[in-house]
A and B are shown apart, each in its own frame.
Chain A
Amino acid sequence: MAEHKHVATDKATGTATTGHDWDGIQELNTPLPRWWLYTFYACIVWAIGYWILYPAWPWFGGATPGILHWSSRGTVATEMAALREARSGMNDKLAAASLQEIEKTPELLSFARAEGGAAFAQNCSPCHGAGGQGSRGYPNLNADRWIWGGTLEQIQTTITHGARWAGDPDTHATMMPSFGRDGLLNKAEMADVAGYVRTLSGNAPDPAADLAKGKQLFADNCSPCHGENGKGNIDVGAPNLTTQVWLYGPTTADILNRIQNGGGGIMPAWQGRLDPTTIKALAVYVHTLGGGQ
């Protein structure tokens, strides 16, 4: 940097220079408008006001609350309350209407589908999938074969009490015996039954299976729950075996696995976690996915 000099004016622009000189190159001193400075001061004043009004300074046990006592958590609570308030009119209608009435009234149906869809995404989608498409062991709710029944009331009951949910005395409690593991059927018998079960839905059985034997074994062991012709029984959650919908897969190996191990999926009871109106909306939503009866 050059030595300190008398301030000079740049000839070309008429503007003063700072007096700094780098190998003959000089720096113009063009002052900023003063109101820019004032804007800066105004920001400082604003910041002080902010400290006083809003949470600002870290302190023991949390930041200073500010005299407005604002918090983002409090804002959420207020917004949620406002939302409940805004929805209360429609929610009351939903609570008062029967499930059938809800489906017949376009206004209620679209509200129930919206609310049910939101509740489904939060509570049901982890097992049943985002669109209710299900996966192995988790029923596809778009299909029209129902384990515990596909009418509006049956769906509502299943959501309310769950399946094999220990905490709810009204839950769907029955499950399939472990025919193989408990020694009720031997391997050959199981293969024959599996072959026969394949034929119920029009699928080709394993050629080695003795279908006549299988039919007899089915009548003796399976028909109490699954019915004489394999149409199932929703009262005990025994699936209809004559359809193209398979919860655990349609192959011989899949069916053998079920006969060997038995059991069944577990679904929580949503009573107590979701309010009855939300469960109603959920029932309508699931029913209108496409498979409702």
Chain B
Amino acid sequence: MNAPFRTHRPDEMTQNNAAQDLSHDLPLYAAAPKVYPQSVHGTYRRIKWIILCVTLGIYYFLPFVRWNRGPDAPSQAVLVDFAHRKFYFFFIEIWPQEVYYLTGLLILAAMILFLMNALAGRVWCGYLCPQTVWTDLFFWTERLFEGDRRERMLKDAGPWTVQRVREKFLKHATWLLIAWWTGGAWVLYFSDAPTTVRQLATFQGAPAALIWIAILTTTTYILAGFMREQVCVYMCPWPRIQAALTDENALNVTYRYDRGEPRTSYKKSAVLRAHGERAGDCIDCGQCVAVCPTGVDIREGPSLGCIQCGLCIDACDAVMKKIERPARLIAYDTDVNVGRRLAGEANQFKPIRSRTILYAAVIAIVGGVMLAALIGRHDMTVSVMHDRNPMFVKTADGSIRNALTVHIVNRQSATRRFAIRLDQPQDGRLAVVGDQQTLDGSPSVEVGPDQVLELRMLVTIPPGASPPPSQQLVFKVTDLSTGGTATAVDNFFAP
């Protein structure tokens, strides 16, 4: 269904074709044809501006949002705290051992991407992808200083003037400024934002922060300023995957050739229609191509280069309005419907198909599991690790002793005291190495806010009990203030 993306127009190639010698005239490497997208107004352009403002607004300002977590935890709403190995997202706090949340998020992201694709094609590419959003912003900047499509093309073909140098300088300076701000915002997610801004402003930024700002400034400047559609066409894997995942019922930005063909000039079509003959609505004005940010011709059908941003819909609608023909000659539509209309049948939309149900079900299940895990998340856990070597020790009096390493995790932002009890084996005696305090005969320990306490525990069964080679061992940890409990299970080994 997808036609190959074309970098050359056939007429370009015919000049080369006249050549006799291949090695001289047919280049192995072709310069990317420069795309000069024209500005456009309309529904989809407005949607894109809104999404651009919202997504960039979130990206640039989210690090400054505060969230009170008490005195011992950072007050930044969204923070990746590498030093303390925590990830904070508003009321959620993820520890390294809970990386399965990240796995769940990635599965959700993939499934939502697939669902969007099954419903309305490359929604991600056209509206949400950072590459699209930043390139859009860079196009806007370019227009601001160098003018619209026609002006830019003329200027690029014309000579260098002082005016031209000034325009170029301002454009690149603004691009670099945006790129720098982009890199700067990135590092704010990894340390306290106001502190980092103050450090950067007083030239005291950490080397790691400066390196990352430099890297992201460079990549933003190059990817959004120069690489642009090349990223989508050559670098990004998603267009390939998307082409394999789509089907004939997915809404895609479609040139309705059933209505548009045969292409006829405006005047000629009026004459044809007056004689009762068929004339297509497409007047071959080329507006759809002129506004395209990736330089494809939508009328050739879906292609790898088409990111389905909908700007050609806006451009074509404006032309249809001028020539007083119905809008949406280019629209979100399906191949199936074009065929049905050609056959004289009614449109048919099938948003509910086996694949959309499947994707939605996977999203619901993964989302549900993650939600359940989040709600059921304990603020205290205990885990136990048996000594591998030796598995057991026979002591001087013939007792059998097992040594275990126990981790008590306190996920609250306050210090808590826990009592540790051995539930099984019942004849086992518990001792905690280095422990000084006991309460009602069971050892008790203090765990600091958001900390993990590692303890070495010795469980001894007195001589004469002849324990079996392996039996269950159960630790019970009780929060002395709340009475909440957590248990850990392992084995007690004997000869």
Residue of B nearest to A102 (CB): B434
The distance in angstroms between the C-alpha atoms of A35 and B227, with both chains bound, is 9
Assess whether B389 is in contact with A34, with CB atoms less than 8 Å apart. Answer: no
Q: Is the interface of A mostly helix, strand, loop or mixed?
A: loop
As a 0/1 sequence over residues 445 to 469 of chain B, the CB contacts with chain A under 8 angstroms (1 = contact) are 0000000001010100001000000
Number of A-B contacts (CB under 8 A): 118
Tell yes or no: A291 within 8 A of B by CB: yes
The distance in angstroms between the C-alpha atoms of A243 and B403, with both chains bound, is 20
Assess whether A33 is in contact with B395, with CB atoms less than 8 Å apart. Answer: no
Tell yes or no: A32 within 8 A of B by CB: yes
Assess whether B394 is in contact with A143, with CB atoms less than 8 Å apart. Answer: yes
Binds A, one of B26-34, B157-165, B351-359: B26-34
Which of A8, A110, A291 makes the CB contact (< 8 A) with B454? A110
Assess whether A16 is in contact with B17, with CB atoms less than 8 Å apart. Answer: yes
Query: What A residues does B16 contact at CB under 8 A?
Result: 7, 16
Query: What B residues does A277 contact at CB under 8 A?
Result: none
The distance in angstroms between the C-alpha atoms of A7 and B398, with both chains bound, is 94
Assess whether B230 is in contact with A33, with CB atoms less than 8 Å apart. Answer: yes
Query: What B residues does A145 contact at CB under 8 A?
Result: 395-396
Query: What B residues does A16 contact at CB under 8 A?
Result: 13, 16-17, 26
B333 nearest CB across to chain A (Å) = 26
Assess whether B29 is in contact with A31, with CB atoms less than 8 Å apart. Answer: yes
| Contact A142-B390, Cβ < 8 Å, known A33-B30, A106-B434 | yes
Residue of B nearest to A284 (CB): B434
Residue of B nearest to A33 (CB): B32
Binds B, one of A128-136, A190-198, A216-224: A128-136
Assess whether B30 is in contact with A31, with CB atoms less than 8 Å apart. Answer: yes
Assess whether A34 is in contact with B397, with CB atoms less than 8 Å apart. Answer: no
Tell yes or no: B433 within 8 A of A by CB: yes
As a 0/1 sequence over residues 23 to 58 of chain B, the CB contacts with chain A under 8 angstroms (1 = contact) are 001111111100000000000000000000000000
| Contact A144-B395, Cβ < 8 Å, known A9-B17, A14-B13, A113-B456 | yes
Tell yes or no: A234 within 8 A of B by CB: no
Tell yes or no: A19 within 8 A of B by CB: yes
Query: What B residues does A9 contact at CB under 8 A?
Result: 10, 13-14, 17
Residue of B nearest to A31 (CB): B30
Tell yes or no: A263 within 8 A of B by CB: no
Interface size class of B (residues with CB under 8 A): 35 or more
The distance in angstroms between the C-alpha atoms of A13 and B7, with both chains bound, is 11
Which of A7, A35, A133 makes the CB contact (< 8 A) with B390? A133
Assess whether B398 is in contact with A244, with CB atoms less than 8 Å apart. Answer: yes
Tell yes or no: A158 within 8 A of B by CB: no
| Contact A31-B27, Cβ < 8 Å, known A144-B395, A244-B396, A245-B394 | yes
Query: What A residues does B32 contact at CB under 8 A?
Result: 33-35
The distance in angstroms between the C-alpha atoms of A104 and B436, with both chains bound, is 7
Query: What A residues does B22 contact at CB under 8 A?
Result: 4, 7, 18-19, 29
The distance in angstroms between the C-alpha atoms of A250 and B112, with both chains bound, is 68
B315 nearest CB across to chain A (Å) = 24
Assess whether B389 is in contact with A109, with CB atoms less than 8 Å apart. Answer: no
Tell yes or no: A91 within 8 A of B by CB: no
Assess whether A103 is in contact with B30, with CB atoms less than 8 Å apart. Answer: no
Interface residues of B in 190-207 (CB under 8 A from A): none
The distance in angstroms between the C-alpha atoms of A15 and B230, with both chains bound, is 19
Residue of B nearest to A145 (CB): B396
Of A37, A130, A142, most buried by chain B (CB within 10 Å of CB) is A142
As a 0/1 sequence over residues 392 to 426 of chain B, the CB contacts with chain A under 8 angstroms (1 = contact) are 01111110010100000000000000000000000
Query: What B residues does A290 contact at CB under 8 A?
Result: 393, 401, 403, 433, 458
Tell yes or no: A6 within 8 A of B by CB: yes
Interface residues of B in 219-278 (CB under 8 A from A): 227, 230, 234
Query: What A residues does B388 contact at CB under 8 A?
Result: 130-131
The distance in angstroms between the C-alpha atoms of A214 and B27, with both chains bound, is 103
Tell yes or no: A36 within 8 A of B by CB: yes
The 6 closest A-B pairs by CB, nearest first: A243-B396, A131-B389, A31-B30, A133-B390, A14-B10, A244-B398
26 A–B contacts from the bound complex (CB under 8 Å): A7-B25, A14-B10, A14-B13, A18-B26, A31-B7, A31-B27, A31-B28, A32-B29, A33-B30, A33-B230, A34-B27, A34-B29, A36-B234, A103-B434, A109-B433, A131-B388, A132-B390, A133-B393, A140-B393, A143-B396, A144-B396, A243-B397, A288-B433, A288-B434, A290-B393, A290-B401
**11 new A-B contacts at CB < 8 Å, known A34-B27, A243-B396:** A4-B22, A7-B16, A7-B25, A14-B6, A14-B8, A15-B13, A31-B27, A33-B230, A34-B32, A104-B434, A290-B458
Chain A residues near B (Cβ < 8 Å): 4, 6-9, 13-16, 18-19, 29, 31-37, 103-104, 106, 109-110, 113, 129-133, 140, 142-145, 240, 243-245, 288-291
